[in-house]
Amino acid sequence: MPRKSPLIIGHRGAPGYRPEHSRSSYELAFALGVDAVEPDVVATKDGVLVIRHENEISGTTDVAQHPEFADRRTTKRIDGQSLTGWFTEDFTWDELSTLRVRERLPKIRTSSATFDDAQPILRLTELMRLISAASVEHGREIGMVLEVKHATYFASIGLDLAPLIERDLRAGGWATGDLPLVIECFESTVLTRLRRTGIAASFVYLIEASGKPFDLVAAEGRAAPDYASIVAPAGLDALVGQVDGISVDKRMLLQPDSTIVADAHVRGLRVFTWTCRPENRFLSAPFRAGGGKAAFGDYEGEWRTIAATGVDGVFVDHPDLGVAVFR
């Protein structure tokens, strides 16, 4: 049954205030009242799962200031896109542990950038312990929405993420259903594999506003379905029994004729949406205000429109604002 108010998910912690995926970002999210937090996982050369938005880390760490790693800078093709920088899979965990995290959007989030270079990268195992401890400290159950990044790519280089994720979840006590766990990905094939392991979790299919899932493109080429067809009624029919829900770009819910939430709910599927941010740069055009890209626009108006769709979960960068509007 849909919740009276949507699940409030701290997207990478509280990155409106602290560098994303840092310990302080997560700790602030816990304190500001989130129902769950969302880490992204990628892998190191030696099979350690680390919490980074992407495997390319030049924008979120101080790696460029480490001369000992200068020769690791390279160009790769990730999910069909050419990227140049430093990649987690070219480092051991011991090497990555020497880096410090940075604000990804320093021109938009100048205050958060003042916390640059002070905190190390987190491993998934460390974050799971932080969430469990925070649930006790704050006297409420706090969940984890684990996003699997670039599963097809990592498998192609010999770093299959599925068994690494299963390993860490079981070792950390997160595989038995005692703690609220959602696993999400833009690639359904890895969700299917993880579901078959018997991990007690909800499985959510991430949906872009355009394009096609890379795992299906890799397998089927031009015949691969696009994201739009996956959330059409026939596409949702095919998801029943395969996943527990979908998580869509908020722009898809803000279209006047959108029936995605209703169509999914009729089929017993939950719907999350990403990402609710208050700055003008991230708001849809009708809700922007003066003051430039970093200034807050009418985020409350946009978010109330999203809430009115009956959505089951929202990803927020500023948890306190999310709690105030959505709860």
Residue 1: inside a domain: no
Residue 276 three-state SS: strand
- β-partners of residue 84 are 75
How many structural domains does the chain have? 1
Residue 57: inside a domain: yes
- Provide the pLDDT for residue 3: 58
Residue 103: inside a domain: yes
The residue range of the domain holding 214 is: 7-326
Residue 2: inside a domain: no
Residue 320 three-state SS: helix
Indicate whether 97 pLDDT > 90: yes
Q: Which pLDDT tens digit goes with each residue over 158-209?
A: 999 999 999 999 999 999 999 999 999 999 999 999 999 999 999 999 999 9
DSSP state of 121: P
- Percentage of residues in the chain with pLDDT exceeding 70? 99
Indicate whether 2 pLDDT > 80: no
Q: How far apart are CA 6 and CA 250, in angstroms?
A: 14
Q: Which pLDDT tens digit goes with each residue over 128-144?
A: 999 999 999 999 999 99
CATH value at residue 245: 3.20.20.190
Residue 250: inside a domain: yes
> What pTM was estimated for this model as a whole?
0.97
Token reading at 164: 């690494």
Q: Which pLDDT tens digit goes with each residue over 56-83?
A: 999 999 999 999 999 999 999 999 999 9
Residue 33: inside a domain: yes
Q: How far apart are CA 154 and CA 152, in angstroms?
A: 6
Q: Which residues contact 96 (CB under 8 A, 6 or more apart)?
A: 44, 48, 50, 88, 121
Q: How far apart are CA 309 and CA 192, in angstroms?
A: 28
- At residue 4 the predicted structure's pLDDT band, cuts being 50, 70 and 90, is confident
Residue 101: inside a domain: yes
Residue 255: inside a domain: yes
